[in-house]
Structure 1
Protein backbone atom coordinates (compact mmCIF):
# COMPACT_ATOMS: atom_id res chain seq x y z
CA UNK A 1 0.00 0.00 0.00
CA UNK A 2 1.52 3.35 -1.04
CA UNK A 3 1.82 6.36 1.25
CA UNK A 4 -0.75 8.22 -0.85
CA UNK A 5 -3.19 5.33 -0.58
CA UNK A 6 -2.65 5.14 3.20
CA UNK A 7 -3.47 8.82 3.64
CA UNK A 8 -6.51 8.44 1.39
CA UNK A 9 -7.59 5.39 3.40
CA UNK A 10 -7.29 7.30 6.67
CA UNK A 11 -9.51 10.12 5.42
CA UNK A 12 -12.12 7.77 3.96
CA UNK A 13 -12.09 5.67 7.13
CA UNK A 14 -12.70 8.71 9.34
CA UNK A 15 -15.53 10.03 7.17
CA UNK A 16 -17.26 6.65 6.85
CA UNK A 17 -16.96 5.94 10.56
CA UNK A 18 -18.35 9.36 11.42
CA UNK A 19 -21.56 8.71 9.52
CA UNK A 20 -21.89 5.26 11.06
CA UNK A 21 -21.54 6.46 14.64
CA UNK A 22 -23.65 9.57 14.09
CA UNK A 23 -26.45 7.46 12.62
CA UNK A 24 -26.42 5.10 15.58
CA UNK A 25 -26.13 7.79 18.25
CA UNK A 26 -27.59 10.83 16.55
CA UNK A 27 -30.39 11.00 19.08
CA UNK A 28 -28.06 11.00 22.08
CA UNK A 29 -28.55 14.00 24.33
CA UNK A 30 -26.13 15.42 26.85
CA UNK A 31 -27.01 15.62 30.54
CA UNK A 32 -29.00 18.64 31.56
CA UNK A 33 -26.54 21.18 32.94
CA UNK A 34 -27.52 24.81 33.51
CA UNK A 35 -25.67 26.94 30.97
CA UNK A 36 -26.29 29.86 28.70
CA UNK A 37 -25.70 29.77 24.98
CA UNK A 38 -23.28 32.69 25.34
CA UNK A 39 -21.23 30.90 28.02
CA UNK A 40 -21.02 27.78 25.89
CA UNK A 41 -19.96 29.81 22.86
CA UNK A 42 -17.26 31.70 24.77
CA UNK A 43 -15.84 28.52 26.30
CA UNK A 44 -15.75 26.83 22.88
CA UNK A 45 -14.03 29.82 21.26
CA UNK A 46 -11.38 29.89 23.98
CA UNK A 47 -10.62 26.18 23.63
CA UNK A 48 -10.55 26.48 19.84
CA UNK A 49 -7.76 29.07 19.98
CA UNK A 50 -5.42 27.27 22.39
CA UNK A 51 -1.99 26.48 20.95
CA UNK A 52 1.29 25.63 22.66
CA UNK A 53 4.06 27.97 21.53
CA UNK A 54 1.41 29.56 19.35
CA UNK A 55 1.65 26.57 17.00
CA UNK A 56 0.76 23.16 18.46
CA UNK A 57 -3.02 22.75 18.88
CA UNK A 58 -4.43 22.20 22.36
CA UNK A 59 -8.10 22.11 21.44
CA UNK A 60 -8.83 19.23 23.83
CA UNK A 61 -7.85 21.15 26.97
CA UNK A 62 -10.32 22.92 29.24
CA UNK A 63 -9.51 25.30 32.08
CA UNK A 64 -13.01 25.10 33.55
CA UNK A 65 -13.71 23.00 36.62
CA UNK A 66 -17.24 22.16 35.50
CA UNK A 67 -17.39 22.81 31.76
CA UNK A 68 -20.61 22.27 29.79
CA UNK A 69 -20.69 18.71 28.40
CA UNK A 70 -19.86 18.24 24.74
CA UNK A 71 -22.60 17.14 22.36
CA UNK A 72 -21.70 14.36 19.87
CA UNK A 73 -21.28 16.90 17.08
CA UNK A 74 -18.86 18.88 19.26
CA UNK A 75 -16.82 15.75 19.94
CA UNK A 76 -16.63 15.14 16.22
CA UNK A 77 -15.56 18.73 15.64
CA UNK A 78 -12.81 18.29 18.23
CA UNK A 79 -11.69 15.07 16.54
CA UNK A 80 -11.68 16.62 13.07
CA UNK A 81 -9.89 19.85 14.04
CA UNK A 82 -7.23 17.99 16.01
CA UNK A 83 -6.56 15.37 13.33
CA UNK A 84 -6.57 17.70 10.32
CA UNK A 85 -5.05 20.86 11.75
CA UNK A 86 -2.46 22.13 9.22
CA UNK A 87 0.29 21.82 11.82
CA UNK A 88 -0.37 18.09 12.12
CA UNK A 89 0.67 17.49 8.52
CA UNK A 90 4.07 18.96 9.34
CA UNK A 91 4.34 16.96 12.57
CA UNK A 92 3.54 13.76 10.69
CA UNK A 93 6.16 14.64 8.08
CA UNK A 94 8.76 15.13 10.82
CA UNK A 95 7.84 11.80 12.44
CA UNK A 96 8.11 10.05 9.07
CA UNK A 97 11.55 11.59 8.54
CA UNK A 98 12.80 10.40 11.93
CA UNK A 99 11.36 6.96 11.24
CA UNK A 100 13.15 6.77 7.90
CA UNK A 101 16.44 8.02 9.35
CA UNK A 102 16.29 5.25 11.97
CA UNK A 103 15.11 2.74 9.36
CA UNK A 104 12.07 1.95 11.50
CA UNK A 105 9.50 -0.17 9.64
CA UNK A 106 12.32 -1.33 7.38
CA UNK A 107 9.79 -3.19 5.24
CA UNK A 108 8.79 0.14 3.75
CA UNK A 109 12.26 0.57 2.28
CA UNK A 110 14.12 3.85 1.74
CA UNK A 111 13.95 6.69 -0.76
CA UNK A 112 10.88 8.71 -1.69
CA UNK A 113 8.71 5.60 -1.80
CA UNK A 114 9.74 4.54 1.70
CA UNK A 115 9.18 8.04 3.05
CA UNK A 116 5.74 8.20 1.43
CA UNK A 117 4.73 4.90 3.02
CA UNK A 118 5.96 6.02 6.43
CA UNK A 119 4.14 9.32 6.06
CA UNK A 120 0.93 7.55 5.09
CA UNK A 121 1.23 5.12 8.00
CA UNK A 122 1.92 7.91 10.53
CA UNK A 123 -0.98 9.95 9.18
CA UNK A 124 -3.31 6.95 9.34
CA UNK A 125 -2.16 6.30 12.92
CA UNK A 126 -2.98 9.78 14.15
CA UNK A 127 -6.32 9.99 12.31
CA UNK A 128 -7.56 6.65 13.66
CA UNK A 129 -6.27 7.44 17.15
CA UNK A 130 -8.02 10.82 17.13
CA UNK A 131 -11.24 9.31 15.81
CA UNK A 132 -11.55 6.66 18.50
CA UNK A 133 -10.12 8.68 21.40
CA UNK A 134 -11.85 12.02 20.80
CA UNK A 135 -15.06 10.96 19.09
CA UNK A 136 -16.21 7.35 18.73
CA UNK A 137 -15.60 6.03 22.24
CA UNK A 138 -16.49 9.31 24.00
CA UNK A 139 -19.86 9.25 22.20
CA UNK A 140 -20.45 5.55 22.80
CA UNK A 141 -19.44 5.69 26.47
CA UNK A 142 -20.72 9.22 27.17
CA UNK A 143 -17.35 10.48 28.38
CA UNK A 144 -15.60 13.82 27.92
CA UNK A 145 -12.43 13.53 25.78
CA UNK A 146 -10.89 16.77 27.04
CA UNK A 147 -7.97 17.24 29.43
CA UNK A 148 -9.17 18.98 32.60
CA UNK A 149 -6.48 21.38 33.87
CA UNK A 150 -5.97 21.66 37.57
CA UNK A 151 -4.52 25.11 36.93
CA UNK A 152 -3.39 25.87 40.47
CA UNK A 153 -2.05 24.24 43.61
CA UNK A 154 1.26 22.59 44.60
CA UNK A 155 3.47 21.69 41.64
CA UNK A 156 3.85 18.05 42.73
CA UNK A 157 0.11 17.64 42.97
CA UNK A 158 -0.38 19.15 39.53
CA UNK A 159 2.27 16.85 38.06
CA UNK A 160 0.45 13.86 39.54
CA UNK A 161 -2.82 15.19 38.18
CA UNK A 162 -1.33 15.64 34.69
CA UNK A 163 0.17 12.14 34.56
CA UNK A 164 -3.03 10.54 35.86
CA UNK A 165 -5.36 12.21 33.35
CA UNK A 166 -4.52 9.60 30.72
CA UNK A 167 -6.26 7.08 32.97
CA UNK A 168 -8.72 9.19 34.97
CA UNK A 169 -11.45 10.52 32.72
CA UNK A 170 -14.73 12.34 33.16
CA UNK A 171 -18.27 11.37 32.31
CA UNK A 172 -20.35 13.84 30.33
CA UNK A 173 -22.07 14.64 33.61
CA UNK A 174 -18.75 15.59 35.22
CA UNK A 175 -18.12 12.58 37.50
CA UNK A 176 -14.66 11.02 37.48
CA UNK A 177 -14.29 7.58 35.92
CA UNK A 178 -11.69 5.39 34.24
CA UNK A 179 -10.56 6.93 30.95
CA UNK A 180 -11.90 4.18 28.70
CA UNK A 181 -11.79 6.22 25.45
CA UNK A 182 -8.03 6.76 25.76
CA UNK A 183 -7.22 3.14 26.64
CA UNK A 184 -9.57 1.62 24.08
CA UNK A 185 -8.61 4.21 21.48
CA UNK A 186 -4.93 3.31 21.77
CA UNK A 187 -5.70 -0.41 21.47
CA UNK A 188 -8.11 0.02 18.56
CA UNK A 189 -5.82 2.31 16.58
CA UNK A 190 -2.90 -0.04 17.29
CA UNK A 191 -4.90 -3.01 16.05
CA UNK A 192 -5.95 -1.23 12.85
CA UNK A 193 -2.32 -0.37 12.12
CA UNK A 194 -1.68 -4.09 11.61
CA UNK A 195 -3.52 -3.78 8.30
CA UNK A 196 -0.88 -1.49 6.78
CA UNK A 197 2.36 -1.95 8.77
CA UNK A 198 5.07 -4.21 7.27
CA UNK A 199 4.55 -7.90 8.14
CA UNK A 200 7.48 -7.96 10.57
CA UNK A 201 5.97 -5.05 12.53
CA UNK A 202 2.58 -6.65 13.10
CA UNK A 203 1.27 -8.92 15.84
CA UNK A 204 -0.38 -8.91 19.24
CA UNK A 205 2.79 -8.26 21.23
CA UNK A 206 3.87 -5.30 19.12
CA UNK A 207 0.34 -3.90 19.17
CA UNK A 208 0.24 -4.00 22.98
CA UNK A 209 3.70 -2.43 23.19
CA UNK A 210 2.79 0.42 20.85
CA UNK A 211 -0.46 0.99 22.74
CA UNK A 212 1.44 1.20 26.02
CA UNK A 213 3.94 3.66 24.54
CA UNK A 214 1.06 5.78 23.21
CA UNK A 215 -0.46 5.95 26.70
CA UNK A 216 2.93 6.87 28.18
CA UNK A 217 3.40 9.69 25.68
CA UNK A 218 -0.15 10.82 26.41
CA UNK A 219 0.64 11.05 30.12
CA UNK A 220 3.77 13.09 29.43
CA UNK A 221 1.77 15.27 27.05
CA UNK A 222 -0.52 16.05 29.97
CA UNK A 223 2.37 17.91 31.58
CA UNK A 224 2.47 20.29 28.63
CA UNK A 225 -1.29 20.78 28.77
CA UNK A 226 -1.14 21.48 32.50
CA UNK A 227 1.85 23.82 32.70
CA UNK A 228 2.12 25.54 29.32
CA UNK A 229 -0.41 28.31 30.20
CA UNK A 230 1.69 29.15 33.29
CA UNK A 231 4.90 29.23 31.26
CA UNK A 232 3.25 31.35 28.58
CA UNK A 233 2.01 33.88 31.14
CA UNK A 234 5.47 34.19 32.72
CA UNK A 235 7.11 34.70 29.33
CA UNK A 236 4.54 37.34 28.45
CA UNK A 237 5.05 39.18 31.75
CA UNK A 238 8.83 39.07 31.30
CA UNK A 239 8.48 40.59 27.85
CA UNK A 240 6.23 43.36 29.21
CA UNK A 241 8.84 44.24 31.87
CA UNK A 242 11.65 44.60 29.33
CA UNK A 243 12.53 48.18 28.30
CA UNK A 244 11.37 49.08 24.81
CA UNK A 245 14.98 49.13 23.58
CA UNK A 246 15.66 45.61 24.86
CA UNK A 247 12.52 44.28 23.19
CA UNK A 248 13.59 45.85 19.88
CA UNK A 249 17.06 44.27 20.17
CA UNK A 250 15.58 40.82 20.95
CA UNK A 251 13.48 41.02 17.80
Structure 2
Protein backbone atom coordinates (compact mmCIF):
# COMPACT_ATOMS: atom_id res chain seq x y z
CA UNK A 1 0.00 0.00 0.00
CA UNK A 2 2.90 2.36 0.77
CA UNK A 3 4.30 1.69 -2.71
CA UNK A 4 0.93 2.46 -4.30
CA UNK A 5 0.62 5.68 -2.33
CA UNK A 6 4.12 6.76 -3.35
CA UNK A 7 3.35 5.94 -6.97
CA UNK A 8 0.16 8.00 -6.90
CA UNK A 9 2.01 11.01 -5.48
CA UNK A 10 4.62 10.69 -8.25
CA UNK A 11 1.89 10.51 -10.89
CA UNK A 12 0.19 13.58 -9.44
CA UNK A 13 3.46 15.49 -9.54
CA UNK A 14 4.10 14.46 -13.15
CA UNK A 15 0.55 14.96 -14.43
CA UNK A 16 -0.35 18.29 -15.94
CA UNK A 17 -4.10 18.95 -15.65
CA UNK A 18 -5.94 19.44 -18.91
CA UNK A 19 -8.11 22.51 -19.29
CA UNK A 20 -11.67 22.01 -18.14
CA UNK A 21 -14.52 22.80 -20.49
CA UNK A 22 -15.54 26.45 -20.51
CA UNK A 23 -17.94 27.73 -17.90
CA UNK A 24 -21.52 26.57 -18.34
CA UNK A 25 -20.52 24.29 -21.22
CA UNK A 26 -22.34 20.98 -21.54
CA UNK A 27 -20.08 17.95 -21.54
CA UNK A 28 -21.52 15.33 -23.84
CA UNK A 29 -20.72 11.99 -25.39
CA UNK A 30 -22.41 10.48 -28.43
CA UNK A 31 -23.61 7.54 -26.35
CA UNK A 32 -23.97 9.04 -22.89
CA UNK A 33 -26.05 11.58 -20.94
CA UNK A 34 -24.65 15.08 -20.68
CA UNK A 35 -23.68 16.82 -17.46
CA UNK A 36 -22.87 20.44 -16.83
CA UNK A 37 -19.31 21.16 -15.72
CA UNK A 38 -19.81 24.71 -14.55
CA UNK A 39 -17.75 24.92 -11.37
CA UNK A 40 -14.36 26.59 -11.94
CA UNK A 41 -12.62 25.07 -8.94
CA UNK A 42 -13.57 22.60 -6.24
CA UNK A 43 -11.08 24.20 -3.87
CA UNK A 44 -12.85 27.54 -3.67
CA UNK A 45 -14.52 28.78 -0.49
CA UNK A 46 -16.88 26.67 1.58
CA UNK A 47 -19.75 28.72 0.21
CA UNK A 48 -18.88 27.42 -3.25
CA UNK A 49 -19.03 23.88 -1.94
CA UNK A 50 -22.44 24.57 -0.46
CA UNK A 51 -23.61 25.97 -3.77
CA UNK A 52 -22.45 22.79 -5.43
CA UNK A 53 -24.37 20.70 -2.92
CA UNK A 54 -27.61 22.50 -3.67
CA UNK A 55 -27.28 22.78 -7.45
CA UNK A 56 -25.60 19.50 -8.31
CA UNK A 57 -28.43 17.34 -7.13
CA UNK A 58 -31.74 18.61 -8.42
CA UNK A 59 -33.26 15.16 -8.35
CA UNK A 60 -32.04 14.20 -4.90
CA UNK A 61 -29.90 11.39 -6.29
CA UNK A 62 -26.60 12.60 -4.86
CA UNK A 63 -23.61 13.22 -7.13
CA UNK A 64 -19.90 13.34 -6.37
CA UNK A 65 -19.06 16.18 -4.00
CA UNK A 66 -15.27 16.38 -3.41
CA UNK A 67 -15.63 18.37 -0.18
CA UNK A 68 -18.15 15.88 1.22
CA UNK A 69 -15.94 12.91 0.33
CA UNK A 70 -13.00 14.48 2.15
CA UNK A 71 -15.12 14.90 5.28
CA UNK A 72 -16.25 11.28 5.27
CA UNK A 73 -14.05 8.36 6.25
CA UNK A 74 -15.51 6.25 3.43
CA UNK A 75 -16.92 7.21 0.06
CA UNK A 76 -20.46 6.15 -0.82
CA UNK A 77 -21.67 4.79 -4.14
CA UNK A 78 -23.45 8.08 -4.86
CA UNK A 79 -20.17 9.98 -4.50
CA UNK A 80 -18.94 8.50 -7.78
CA UNK A 81 -22.23 8.62 -9.69
CA UNK A 82 -23.39 11.61 -11.72
CA UNK A 83 -27.15 11.59 -12.27
CA UNK A 84 -28.93 13.06 -15.34
CA UNK A 85 -29.10 16.84 -15.07
CA UNK A 86 -26.55 17.11 -12.28
CA UNK A 87 -23.54 19.36 -12.26
CA UNK A 88 -20.26 17.45 -12.52
CA UNK A 89 -17.52 19.29 -10.58
CA UNK A 90 -14.10 19.02 -12.23
CA UNK A 91 -11.69 16.61 -10.51
CA UNK A 92 -8.03 17.28 -9.84
CA UNK A 93 -5.51 14.43 -9.65
CA UNK A 94 -5.64 14.75 -5.85
CA UNK A 95 -9.45 14.43 -5.87
CA UNK A 96 -9.17 11.21 -7.85
CA UNK A 97 -6.64 9.84 -5.37
CA UNK A 98 -8.87 10.58 -2.39
CA UNK A 99 -11.91 9.12 -4.14
CA UNK A 100 -9.97 6.05 -5.27
CA UNK A 101 -8.63 5.18 -1.83
CA UNK A 102 -11.95 5.74 -0.05
CA UNK A 103 -13.98 3.99 -2.76
CA UNK A 104 -11.92 0.86 -2.11
CA UNK A 105 -13.54 0.38 1.30
CA UNK A 106 -17.31 0.83 1.01
CA UNK A 107 -20.38 -1.26 1.74
CA UNK A 108 -20.76 -1.77 -2.02
CA UNK A 109 -17.18 -3.07 -2.17
CA UNK A 110 -17.82 -5.45 0.74
CA UNK A 111 -20.89 -6.84 -1.02
CA UNK A 112 -18.80 -7.35 -4.16
CA UNK A 113 -16.04 -9.18 -2.29
CA UNK A 114 -18.54 -11.43 -0.52
CA UNK A 115 -20.48 -12.19 -3.69
CA UNK A 116 -17.31 -13.06 -5.58
CA UNK A 117 -16.00 -15.26 -2.76
CA UNK A 118 -19.39 -16.94 -2.30
CA UNK A 119 -19.77 -17.78 -5.98
CA UNK A 120 -16.27 -19.21 -6.37
CA UNK A 121 -16.76 -21.17 -3.15
CA UNK A 122 -19.99 -22.61 -4.52
CA UNK A 123 -18.45 -23.73 -7.83
CA UNK A 124 -14.97 -24.33 -6.40
CA UNK A 125 -13.57 -21.88 -8.90
CA UNK A 126 -10.46 -19.73 -9.03
CA UNK A 127 -8.73 -19.11 -6.69
CA UNK A 128 -8.82 -22.84 -5.86
CA UNK A 129 -8.53 -22.94 -2.09
CA UNK A 130 -10.94 -25.85 -1.70
CA UNK A 131 -14.51 -25.93 -0.39
CA UNK A 132 -14.22 -25.99 3.42
CA UNK A 133 -15.10 -23.07 5.68
CA UNK A 134 -11.48 -21.91 5.80
CA UNK A 135 -11.42 -21.73 2.01
CA UNK A 136 -14.23 -19.17 2.02
CA UNK A 137 -12.21 -16.89 4.30
CA UNK A 138 -9.19 -17.22 2.02
CA UNK A 139 -11.32 -16.44 -1.03
CA UNK A 140 -12.86 -13.43 0.71
CA UNK A 141 -9.42 -12.08 1.58
CA UNK A 142 -8.16 -12.67 -1.96
CA UNK A 143 -11.21 -10.97 -3.48
CA UNK A 144 -10.77 -7.96 -1.19
CA UNK A 145 -7.06 -7.66 -2.03
CA UNK A 146 -7.60 -8.09 -5.77
CA UNK A 147 -10.44 -5.58 -6.02
CA UNK A 148 -8.70 -3.05 -3.80
CA UNK A 149 -5.47 -3.11 -5.80
CA UNK A 150 -7.40 -2.92 -9.08
CA UNK A 151 -9.34 0.09 -7.84
CA UNK A 152 -6.29 1.89 -6.50
CA UNK A 153 -4.27 1.31 -9.65
CA UNK A 154 -7.21 2.36 -11.83
CA UNK A 155 -8.46 5.45 -9.98
CA UNK A 156 -5.46 6.62 -7.98
CA UNK A 157 -2.66 5.98 -10.46
CA UNK A 158 -4.00 5.68 -14.00
CA UNK A 159 -7.06 8.00 -13.97
CA UNK A 160 -4.85 11.05 -13.28
CA UNK A 161 -2.18 9.76 -15.67
CA UNK A 162 -4.63 9.36 -18.58
CA UNK A 163 -6.69 12.43 -17.60
CA UNK A 164 -9.86 10.32 -17.33
CA UNK A 165 -12.98 10.91 -15.25
CA UNK A 166 -13.54 7.80 -13.07
CA UNK A 167 -17.14 8.70 -12.19
CA UNK A 168 -20.14 6.86 -13.63
CA UNK A 169 -22.60 9.03 -15.58
CA UNK A 170 -25.99 7.41 -15.14
CA UNK A 171 -28.34 7.32 -18.13
CA UNK A 172 -31.40 7.03 -15.90
CA UNK A 173 -35.12 6.60 -16.33
CA UNK A 174 -36.88 7.55 -19.52
CA UNK A 175 -34.45 5.60 -21.69
CA UNK A 176 -34.90 2.20 -23.31
CA UNK A 177 -34.05 -0.66 -20.93
CA UNK A 178 -31.74 -2.48 -23.34
CA UNK A 179 -30.01 0.77 -24.28
CA UNK A 180 -29.30 1.38 -20.60
CA UNK A 181 -27.93 -2.14 -20.17
CA UNK A 182 -25.62 -1.80 -23.17
CA UNK A 183 -24.53 1.69 -22.17
CA UNK A 184 -23.75 0.76 -18.56
CA UNK A 185 -21.97 -2.51 -19.39
CA UNK A 186 -19.74 -0.81 -21.97
CA UNK A 187 -18.52 1.77 -19.43
CA UNK A 188 -15.92 -0.86 -18.53
CA UNK A 189 -14.23 -0.08 -21.85
CA UNK A 190 -15.53 3.43 -22.65
CA UNK A 191 -15.32 6.49 -20.42
CA UNK A 192 -14.77 10.25 -20.66
CA UNK A 193 -11.72 12.42 -20.43
CA UNK A 194 -11.53 15.26 -17.93
CA UNK A 195 -12.77 17.63 -20.64
CA UNK A 196 -15.73 15.43 -21.55
CA UNK A 197 -14.60 13.60 -24.68
CA UNK A 198 -15.28 9.90 -25.25
CA UNK A 199 -12.22 7.72 -24.78
CA UNK A 200 -11.31 4.08 -24.24
CA UNK A 201 -11.31 3.36 -20.51
CA UNK A 202 -7.54 3.02 -20.29
CA UNK A 203 -7.43 3.59 -16.54
CA UNK A 204 -9.91 0.84 -15.66
CA UNK A 205 -8.38 -1.67 -18.07
CA UNK A 206 -4.85 -0.91 -16.90
CA UNK A 207 -5.94 -1.18 -13.27
CA UNK A 208 -7.42 -4.62 -13.96
CA UNK A 209 -4.26 -5.73 -15.76
CA UNK A 210 -2.01 -4.74 -12.86
CA UNK A 211 -4.44 -6.12 -10.29
CA UNK A 212 -4.59 -9.46 -12.11
CA UNK A 213 -0.81 -9.59 -12.41
CA UNK A 214 -0.42 -9.08 -8.66
CA UNK A 215 -2.56 -12.15 -7.92
CA UNK A 216 0.50 -14.20 -8.85
CA UNK A 217 1.93 -13.12 -5.50
CA UNK A 218 -0.89 -14.51 -3.33
CA UNK A 219 -3.11 -16.88 -5.35
CA UNK A 220 -2.53 -20.67 -5.02
CA UNK A 221 0.18 -22.00 -7.32
CA UNK A 222 -2.39 -23.63 -9.61
CA UNK A 223 -3.92 -20.21 -10.32
CA UNK A 224 -0.68 -18.49 -11.27
CA UNK A 225 0.96 -18.05 -14.65
CA UNK A 226 0.13 -16.23 -17.88
CA UNK A 227 -3.03 -18.16 -18.81
CA UNK A 228 -4.49 -17.99 -15.31
CA UNK A 229 -3.69 -14.27 -15.11
CA UNK A 230 -5.56 -13.67 -18.36
CA UNK A 231 -8.52 -15.55 -16.92
CA UNK A 232 -8.42 -13.43 -13.76
CA UNK A 233 -8.26 -10.26 -15.89
CA UNK A 234 -11.27 -11.37 -17.97
CA UNK A 235 -13.27 -12.17 -14.85
CA UNK A 236 -12.39 -8.77 -13.38
CA UNK A 237 -13.51 -6.94 -16.53
CA UNK A 238 -16.80 -8.85 -16.43
CA UNK A 239 -17.20 -7.86 -12.80
CA UNK A 240 -16.60 -4.21 -13.67
CA UNK A 241 -19.26 -4.30 -16.40
CA UNK A 242 -21.71 -5.97 -14.01
CA UNK A 243 -20.99 -3.34 -11.38
CA UNK A 244 -21.87 -0.52 -13.78
CA UNK A 245 -25.14 -2.25 -14.74
CA UNK A 246 -26.01 -2.59 -11.05
CA UNK A 247 -25.26 1.08 -10.49
CA UNK A 248 -27.48 2.07 -13.44
CA UNK A 249 -30.52 0.21 -12.08
CA UNK A 250 -29.86 0.21 -8.33
CA UNK A 251 -32.21 3.07 -7.48
CA UNK A 252 -35.11 1.47 -9.33
CA UNK A 253 -34.44 -1.87 -7.64
CA UNK A 254 -34.46 -0.22 -4.21
CA UNK A 255 -37.74 1.49 -5.07
CA UNK A 256 -39.31 -1.83 -6.04
CA UNK A 257 -38.46 -3.38 -2.66
CA UNK A 258 -39.53 -0.16 -0.86
CA UNK A 259 -36.08 0.66 0.44
CA UNK A 260 -36.04 3.97 -1.41
CA UNK A 261 -38.79 6.48 -2.05
CA UNK A 262 -39.69 6.95 -5.73
CA UNK A 263 -38.35 10.18 -7.19
When normalised by structure 2's length, the TM-score is: 0.69
Q: How many Å separate the matches in 1 of 2:261 and 2:88?
A: 32
Whether the 8 Å contact between 1:95 and 1:122 is mirrored in structure 2 is yes
Q: How does 1:153-172 map to 2 (within 5 A)?
A: 153-172=175-194
Whether the 8 Å contact between 1:133 and 1:182 is mirrored in structure 2 is yes
In the other structure, the counterpart of 1:57 is 77
How many pairs are equivalent? 221
Higher helix proportion, which one? 1
Of 100-109 and 199-208, more deviation after overlay is shown by 100-109
Q: How many Å separate the matches in 2 of 1:176 and 1:23?
A: 26
Pairing 1:146–2:146 present? no
Aligned-residue CA RMSD (Å): 3.3
In the other structure, the counterpart of 2:113 is 92
Whether the 8 Å contact between 1:167 and 1:182 is mirrored in structure 2 is yes
SS at match of 1:169: strand
Q: How does 1:173-212 map to 2 (within 5 A)?
A: 173-212=195-234
Cα deviation, residue 209, structure 1: 1.9
- Structure 2: stretches of 5+ with no match in the other structure: 24-38, 41-47, 66-75
SS at match of 1:31: coil
Whether the 8 Å contact between 1:76 and 1:134 is mirrored in structure 2 is yes
In the other structure, the counterpart of 2:143 is 122
Cα deviation, residue 213, structure 1: 2.1
In the other structure, the counterpart of 1:132 is 153
Of 90-99 and 147-156, more deviation after overlay is shown by 90-99
Q: 1:76 to 1:111 in 2, by over 3 A?
A: same
Cα deviation, residue 25, structure 1: 1.6
- The structure whose RCO (Cα within 8 Å, separation 6+) is larger is 1
Cα deviation, residue 172, structure 1: 0.5
SS at match of 1:165: helix
Q: How does 1:18-37 map to 2 (within 5 A)?
A: 18-26=5-13, 28-29=16-17, 31-33=19-21, 34=23, 35=39, 37=48
